[in-house]
A and B are shown apart, each in its own frame.
Chain A
């Protein structure tokens, strides 16, 4: 069923509880409150400051399908890191890919849909992003 709120919550749970993602983000052993601020469920990046690393998990528009009963839903995960740590962003998205690809979240199978390379971010920062798709139903 179409349930974007719970789909995103479950995906966020998987990412924010994955040891490799937390290690790459430098969040191992950090309190939940800090993790919630660094791994967010929207695309906001214009307030990045103080060499903070941020992982943004958010929906992008659904894709059309031949069959209208099933909608390919798209989730994007962007990692913003200070410019000098650009390779960390790739390490983080690799960990995210390993944490999500072919995993079930809220009854749907999440599939890796490719990376685009460098994306727009704040000045002095570097961003790399990947996308996942899953099939929702009405």
Chain B
């Protein structure tokens, strides 16, 4: 009796099996992050990207648009200044040039593009004015939420931490246990 294990085929099949596991991890992360977001806009602005498997490395990403970023890191004076992309944003044309701190302030007169990519025109009447204070005082009537600061939810960061703590090992265990290893065992009779 001879027992052979076709390791090459098994590893290849296990890699595609792991792609499914990584997809499950990605969806769990996405759902956990969406659940932790504090705004419906942020929740809808978070997506699962396609899975890439190349050179033995399987990569899954979740990406967020501007609403998700605002939810994750907050906005105005309450935003988390440790956002790794904040410096890039502050040096981009989307940032209000008269906004020297994190407080939401009026823009200078003229057209501008906001963080959501929308073209707007400012009259310049509130240039440099602390709009958060006006919004809190009830002096802004329209779209008041646009001018209120917001706490960061850190929903994505927290979802990743929970994953590392609680779920990643479980997913891997499940992947190993549910893989049909026996299919790659070949048992044959051998004659003397």
Contacts and interface: CB of A to CB of B under 8 A. Distances in A.
A39 to B, nearest CB: 20
B35 A113 contact: no
A120 B73 CA distance: 10
A91 to B, nearest CB: 21
The B interface is mostly helix, strand or loop, or mixed, namely helix
A18 B158 CA distance: 28
B127 interface: no
A131 B166 contact: yes
A122 B154 CA distance: 12
Name the 4 nearest CB pairs between A and B, nearest first: A61-B31, A120-B154, A60-B35, A114-B165
Contact of B178 (A60, A61, A66, A122): A66
Contact of A66 (B28, B31, B78, B177): B177
B183 to A, nearest CB: 18
A120 B152 contact: yes
Given A64-B24, A119-B154, A120-B158, 11 more contacts: A61-B28, A61-B32, A63-B170, A66-B174, A113-B166, A114-B165, A116-B165, A120-B36, A120-B154, A120-B155, A121-B151
A123 B77 CA distance: 11
Residue of B166, B170, B177 most packed against chain A (CB within 10 A): B166
B167 interface: yes
A121 B38 CA distance: 11
Interface residues of B, number: 23
A3 interface: no
Contacts of A43: 36
Interface string B125-162: 00000000000000000000000000111110010011
Given A63-B167, A66-B177, A114-B166, A123 B28 contact: no
B166 A46 contact: no
Contact of A63 (B28, B153, B154, B161): B28
A61 B33 CA distance: 10
Contacts of B32: 60-61
Contacts of A113: 166
Contacts of B166: 113-114, 131
22 contacts: A60-B32, A60-B36, A60-B162, A61-B28, A61-B31, A61-B32, A61-B35, A63-B28, A63-B167, A63-B170, A66-B177, A66-B178, A114-B166, A116-B158, A116-B165, A119-B154, A120-B36, A120-B151, A120-B152, A120-B154, A120-B158, A131-B162
